[in-house]
A and B are shown apart, each in its own frame.
Chain A
Amino acid sequence: MRFLALRALLALLVLLAASPPALAQDGPDEESDTDAEAEDEAEPEAAPGPEAAPEPTAAPRTEPDAKPAADLVEPATASPGGGDESGRSWSLSGYLQPQVGMTYRPSALPRDRLVYGASATSAGIEITGNPWDHWAYDVHLIVAGESQEVVTAVESVDTNGDGVPDDVSAETETTPSLLVERATISYQPIAAFGVVIGQMRIPFTAQEQSPETALMFPQRSGPNEVFLKGPDLGGLAVLSLKGDLLRASLGAFNGSGAPVEEGDERGLVYSARVDANPLGPFPFGEGDLERGRLRIGLGAGFLYYPAKVYDASGYLGSRIRDLRSSASFRLAARGLYLQAEVLRRQRTDSLSSRPVVATGAYGQGSYFLPIQAPIGLAPIARVGYSAEDQGFDPRKTLYLEAGITVYPRPDQPDELKVVAQYLGERRLTEGEDAHGAILQLQLLW
Chain B
Amino acid sequence: MGARGLLAAPVLVVALLVGGCVDYLDPGEYGVPRYFGEVRGAPPLALLPPIADRDGNVYVLYGSRELSSALVFVGHAGGGWTSGCSVHKGDSRGAHFWVGRAQDRAWYWSGDALVEVAGGTGSCKAVLDKDPASNSDLLFLGVVPHVKEAPSRTTLVAMFQSPADPRPYQGVIDLGPGRYSELSRFEPRDAEGVVVLGTGADAEGEVGVMLVSYTRGGEVVLEGRFLDDQGATTSIAPVTGGDPLLGADAVLGQLQVSGDGLVVGLLEDGSIVSFNRSGGQVTSYSLSMTPVGVHRDGGGALWLVGESGGPVIAPLGEIGQPGSAVAWTASERAAAAIQGDVKVLDDRIDPRHYTIWHEVSSAMGEHPFLTGAPPLEYAQDTTAWLFAGPSYSVGGEPRTSVALAPVGLSYP
Contacts and interface: CB of A to CB of B under 8 A. Distances in A.
B17 A342 contact: yes
A312 B76 CA distance: 12
B23 to A, nearest CB: 7
B3 interface: yes
Contact of B17 (A314, A325, A390): A325
B151 A317 contact: no
A317 B150 contact: no
Interface stretch (A105-113, A134-142, A214-222, A407-415): A105-113
A440 interface: no
A278 B2 CA distance: 9
B7 to A, nearest CB: 7
Interface residues of A, number: 54
Contacts of A300: 9-10, 13
B78 A391 contact: no
Contact of A276 (B1, B31, B56, B406): B1
Given A350-B32, A355-B22, A109 B152 contact: yes
Given A315-B350, A318-B78, A346-B22, A328 B10 contact: yes
Contacts of A328: 10
Contacts of A274: 9
A432 B151 contact: yes
A342 B23 contact: no
B6 A298 contact: yes
Interface in B146-171: 148-153
Contact of B16 (A325, A390, A430): A325
B32 A326 contact: no
Given A313-B350, A350-B32, A354-B382, A342 B14 contact: yes
A359 B24 contact: no
Contact of A326 (B17, B25, B152): B17
Contacts of B16: 325, 344
Contacts of A327: 10, 13-14, 17
Interface in B5-45: 6-7, 9-10, 13-14, 16-18, 20, 22-25, 31-32, 34
Contacts of A263: 78
9 contacts: A105-B152, A108-B153, A327-B13, A327-B14, A352-B406, A353-B25, A357-B22, A390-B380, A392-B377
Interface of B: 1, 3, 6-7, 9-10, 13-14, 16-18, 20, 22-25, 31-32, 34, 52, 54-56, 77-80, 125, 148-153, 206, 345, 347, 350-352, 377-380, 382, 406
Interface of A: 105, 107-109, 112, 166-167, 246, 261-264, 274, 276, 278, 298-300, 309, 311-315, 317-318, 325-329, 342-344, 346, 348, 350-355, 357, 359, 389-393, 427, 430-432, 434
> Considering the complex of A and B, which 7 residue pairs feature the smallest CB-CB distances, nearest first?
A353-B31, A315-B351, A313-B350, A108-B152, A262-B78, A344-B17, A430-B150
